[in-house]
Structure 1
Amino acid sequence: YQQALKHNPQLHHALAHLIHQKQHICDWKDLDIQITQLRNVLKQHQNAQIAPFAFIAMPGTSAEEQLLCANQWATQQFSSLIPFKNEVALVQPKHAKQKIRIAYLSADFRLHPLAFLITELLDQHDRSTFEIIAYSHGIDDKSEERQRIKNAVDLFVDIHLLSDVEAAKHMRELRIDLLIDLTGYTKNSRSGIIALKPTPISINWLGFPGTMGTLDGESLFNYILVDNTIAPDPQYFSEQCLYLPCYQPNNQSRPQAEAGERSNHQLPAGAFVFCCFNQTFKITAEVYATWMRILKQVPNSVLWLLDCNPWAKNNLIETAKKVGIAADRIIFAPRVSIAQHIARQQHADLFLDTLPYNAHTTASDALWMGLPVLTCMGETFSSRVCASILKNLSLNDLITDNLADYETLAVALAHDKNKLLALKQTLLTHHNQLFNSVRFTQHLESIYLNVYNKKLIL
């Protein structure tokens, strides 16, 4: 990307990719300057092709800018599909139905964090009212998780070989009432299907933590599922906001494995273990500097991170050494199975969240294991998800709104075992408030019925 930009500085999408890859390897040199440059490009060039997923992870980007980015991306990616909307609309439904047909669209019906959020929800939908269809456009990994999802729905349709137009026509033929996109602008997105308007109601949820923007003068999606913490002000969403008590669903169980001893994970006996298992692109220079100050104030402590790639590992160690933190206090967890990864978290004492892109499923994994998560809440969707989760566990004391307070609280908790134990007890007491797929499904179905009946009236 650097070479491409040298040849042509107007390759704005290359600048966006360069920033995102630098974030992945924790190379923060000149990053603030480059992000400022990209934000200016966004405002000045409507055809800049800045990927929304990369943009929301960049420090300093506002909700207003993220909406503008989504608007531009939707126009660039899906305008070519607009002429085919009438062709899709003319398709005659071929299947009679007595129930409301809900379709979930995803690339991740497989061994993926999504499976541990929604499988029970899919299974627990009220079959006297709803018929549940899964449209899969991702790989078939032959996993148990994929089979569980197949077993949980009434119809599983693999569309990864179909074009957007063909998939949209299939949905029309099947008379889908509500289409929920669980992928959005994340990897292997197929949101072009929604651009063809194959269903009366479309909902953006879960995969992409932000708005999907507008196309041809109207919102790409009718609705987005959020909660009051994530979206206190709906003005920067193109969609109409639908409010759940907590936007994130969760299975009542997680895959389980043996955690082993601390020594099996290179964790020193007796040390206070701070951890963060977010991907490295979420670790910013400012957050990492805060972590280093925390380690200095808690002498017998270590920081346990996910070993995402060798470049990030080296950069993080070198940055720590420059501020006087020994390399052996930064410990990297190798990639293991999801079950093993969740289990080993019982050896940590406090999870330190990132900003502006929080832990999402990663946070609920930690909390499910009884590990308190400390977050710093920002102003954008992706920076408020962890606060939403914590509020639903009555753990408001772990939510801060600036990094100075975040740092102070992290140090205080490391020095106050009783306070930390009290937080763990609160987590245990209120565990069922978050990890309750039956109650969540009931709330969600109530919303589905409201928007369906509203559409019937219109």
Structure 2
Amino acid sequence: MPTKAPAAPSPLAPSPSRACPPRSSALPPSPSSVSAASASAPSAPDHPATAPFEPKAPAFPAGAFLCTHDDARRHPHNHLSCRNMTPDPSLAPAQSALAAGNFDDAAGLFTAALQKDAAHTEARLGLARTLHFAGLLGPALQSLAPFFTTPEISAAAPPAAWLEAALIHRAAGRFNDARLTLENAPPAVHQHPAWSINLADVLLEQGHPAASRDLLAAAPGLLARQPQAASSWLRSQLYLPEVDASQLHASSRQWARWHGGYDPIPMVPPNRELARRLRLVFVSSRLCAHNSAQQLLGILPHLDRKGFHVTLVSTGRIKDSVTEKLRTLANVWIDIPSELPDADTAKLLRDTKADILVDQQEHSNNGPISLFTRRIAPLQVHWYCNALSTGLRTLDARISDSTTEPQGQADELSSEPILRLPHGYLAYTPPHLAVAPVDLIDPARPLTLGGIPHLAKCTDAVLATWAEILRQLPHARLLLARNTLGDPATRDAFAARCHAAGIPADRLDLRPDGGAISTLAIFNDLDLILDTWPFGGEATSMDALWMGVPILTLCGDRITARRTTTLLKAVGRQDLVTTSPEAYIARAVEIASDLPALRASRAPLRAAVQASDWCNGPLIAADLAAAFRALWIKACHRK
């Protein structure tokens, strides 16, 4: 378990280390810039995680954060925070406006309720949530301030207020303050399922997958009651090298035993016409600027619409330019609020009369996997976010390929039949914000290794291996970029782990996103990507190769340890695939020892990517269409 985070500063007495003027009231510090608020945040000291509990208010920042509309809404756990409250019928129009994304109307209605009764808890929480989803994170925190005016009032604040404050911090990229808020909440808040789920998510973001897993497992009965908590518990194990492929499968089957007891019997199609136009329904909470949506952009323009009618169902809150583009590619678009119970959502999905229902997320990103525990359509299939077997018997196929999942053991460790496409299952579309790759690299720039891994992927073994590579390449540096590294305390704690593994501080460059990841510009600063294991890259590997940056990978025994291998094989760079840490180190040193040749390989690599199967949308769309049709014909012969 990571050390306990430092004590949360009370809004009654802002920390002197934070840039804020003296206050005459008990409200949080006044708004200022994000950089001023974050520059002096403390790092996490080493002291026992069992330190005595002291009730404190949430760690309100010195700045009122204005982030993008998308970033503010990427954490849809909010609906968990108020389920124990009795709804006020008078606020139904406000709640409906919020659910529909009409933030101006919702804010006006919640504000009007507060003008009548300033102590109206549900209205205040609703206003905070509205401002949060609208991207006005500073005002959202300010709206919660009445819950935390004194230590006594803070201790009596409703659990939803603490949970909402933590979610707002996380949306603002203040992961340590989110953790502080949750850890310092009163004991009554700790009993709420959303407390465990959100703290586990923050621990994972900060690079502590074992702590995330253990926290969820320790909450009495939580995993058996909450599908989302069980999914987070399952996903956290993907990062742990001590959990092998067989244990992962056992955990996915355990998830199904807890939550997958609905309608396991295959459904006979009501209309068995083999060649008719099929209703294809994709369900996702990430129909926005996200890698799963990018895959849809790769296939939908090329999918035979005479053979398939396409419905896109969004269960997420994020709407952006990618969402609008996807709308134009769908025959029908349906928005379903994430707060809607699964039984009601399943009814709406049945009303689409889907022939084939497609899941894109399995247990990731707060996706709708629990819907697939029910038999909603004659055929139910998983495609794209392929990290592990879902554990479900209600899925008729999981689409993959023979490199990512070779025949044999992979079939034994899959609850779903594996349907392997001949040219791979990926259909890459570069992000619309992507910059052009550099043609010439400053020869004075030192050899730069690294990548943009999730911090949880950077296990102690991975860091030790990178340290050895740097030892053997004394002129190289390690560049790692991630949005979580924009939080000073998270960055300092991760830097300490790197230093403990033997990575010199003066050769380590840790960067926040700053837009360089979403635009792919970060790859112009890298000479060689060092893939992680046992959880390697996929979307980020596609981005890196698209930008012409070679990736060194270690191929392992599970899906997440083989996906980059699949990509490299498709572009003819099997020479970048290794099978042991020793071979990984030796190959990295060999490649990087000839820096001119390494940099000269960028242009040919990008050309190979552009010619590869996973950049061939029409090819993958045709393969998917053939696979869907074959599954349909098989289903029509069921008895």
Partner of 1:52: 234
Q: 1:426-445 alignment to 2 at 5 Å?
A: 426-431=604-609, 432-433=611-612, 434-445=614-625
Correspondence 1:10-25 to 2 at 5 A = 24-25=205-206
Unaligned runs of 5+ in 2: 2-48, 54-186, 188-193
**1:65 corresponds to which of 222, 247, 258:** 247
Partner of 2:415: 238
5+ residue gaps, structure 1: 8-12
The 1:445/1:317 distance shift into structure 2, 3 A limit, reads same
Aligned pair in 2 of structure 1 residues 75, 324: CA closer, same or farther (>3 Å)? closer
Which SS does the other structure have where 1:331 is aligned? strand
Q: CA deviation at 1:223?
A: 0.7
| Distance in 1 separating the partners of 2:252 and 2:446 | 44
- Distance, in Å, in 1 between the alignment partners of 2:444 and 2:460 is 29
* Residue correspondence of structure 1 range 59-458 to structure 2 within 5 A: 59-79=241-261, 99-141=277-319, 143-160=320-337, 162-214=340-392, 219-232=393-406, 233-244=410-421, 245-251=423-429, 254-257=432-435, 269-307=444-482, 308-309=484-485, 310-322=488-500, 325-337=503-515, 341-417=519-595, 419-421=597-599, 423-424=601-602, 426-431=604-609, 432-433=611-612, 434-458=614-638
Q: 1:259 to 1:340 in 2, by over 3 A?
A: farther
Residues 333-381 of structure 1: CA deviation (Å, up to 9, x unaligned): 2223377541231221000000011111010010111111111011011
Distance between the aligned counterparts of 1:239 and 1:338, measured in 2? Answer: 38
The Cα of 1:249 is off from its aligned counterpart by: 2.0
For the residue of structure 2 that corresponds to 1:430, the secondary structure is: helix
Q: Deviations over 1:36-62 (max 9, x none)?
A: 999x99xxxx95975211122222212
Q: Against the structure 1 CA distance between its residues 228 and 254, is the aligned structure 2 distance closer, same or farther, given a 3 Å change threshold?
A: farther
Asked if the contact 1:16/1:54 (under 8 Å) is kept, the reply is: no
Q: 2:190: which partner in 1?
A: none
- How many residues end up aligned between the 2 structures? 429
Q: CA 1:100 to 1:211, structure 2 compared with 1: closer, same or farther past 3 Å?
A: same
Shift of residue 153 of structure 1? 1.1
Q: How far 1:124 moved relative to its partner?
A: 1.7
Q: In the aligned structure 2, how far is the partner of 1:16 from the partner of 1:356?
A: 24
- Aligned partners of 1:18, 1:174: CA distance in 2, in Å? 37
From the superposition, tell whether residues 220 and 422 of structure 1 become closer, same or farther in structure 2 (CA, over 3 Å): farther
**TM-score, normalised on structure 2?**
0.60
Equivalent AA in structure 1 for residue 565 of structure 2? A
Q: Is the 8 A contact 2:437 2:547 kept in 1?
A: no
Alignment RMSD: 3.7
Residue type at the aligned position of 1:402: S
Contact 2:300 2:329 in 1 (8 A): yes
* Contact map agreement 1:99 1:128 (CA 8 A) in 2: yes
Partner Cα distance (1:176, 1:355) in 2? 38
Match for 1:384: what amino acid?
R
Moved more, 421-430 or 350-359: 421-430
* Larger Rg belongs to: 2
Equivalent position SS for 1:114: helix
Contact 1:306 / 1:332 at 8 angstroms: preserved in 2? yes
Shift in alpha-carbon separation, 1:300–1:68, aligned structure 2, 3 A? same
The change in CA–CA distance for 1:303 and 1:261 in structure 2 (over 3 A counts) is: farther
More divergent stretch after superposition (150-159 vs 188-197): 188-197
- Encode CA deviations 1:23-81: one digit per residue, 9 max, x unaligned: 543469xx6xx89999x99xxxx9597521112222221222111111111232344x5
Structure with more strand by fraction: 1
Alignment check: 8 A CA contact 1:277 1:362 kept: yes
Shift of 1:449: 1.1
Q: Residues of 1 paired with 2:289 and 2:198: CA distance? A: 27
